Structure 1
Amino acid sequence: MQEAARLLRTHPHFLYRLIRQGRLPALRLGRAIRLSEDVLRRMLESREQEGVSRNG
C-alpha cells in the first residue's frame, strides 16, 4: 500500500478509504491487500488528465 500511495502521491489512508467505498478494486490475501498494477496505472493517468484540464 505504501508503494501505491507513493506512486499516486497520496496517503495510504486515502487508498484504504477508496477500497472500503468500493471505488478502488483490491484483493485481500489474509492481512495483505493487493492492488492491480493496471488499475493503479489508469488511476494515475486520470489524475494526470485532471491536472492538465485544471491547468489548461
Structure 2
Amino acid sequence: MIADVIANTYALVVLKIAAFGVAVPLQATFLGFILGSIPFIWPRKAVTLAT
C-alpha cells in the first residue's frame, strides 16, 4: 500500500497525470487508516514476569 501511494503520487506530481488527482488523497487516507489500526489488529505479546 505504501509503494502504491508513492507510485501514484509520483504519477500525479512528477508526470502530471490528472487522473490520479482524486485517487491519491483517498489512498493516502486509507493508508493512514491501515497504519493507525495496526496496533489494534496485531497486538504485541503480553510480557509475563517469572517469579
Question: Would the TM-score normalized by the shorter structure come out above 0.5?
Answer: no
Q: Which has the higher strand share?
A: 1
Q: Give the TM-score, by structure 2 length.
A: 0.41
Q: Greater Rg, structure 1 or structure 2?
A: 2
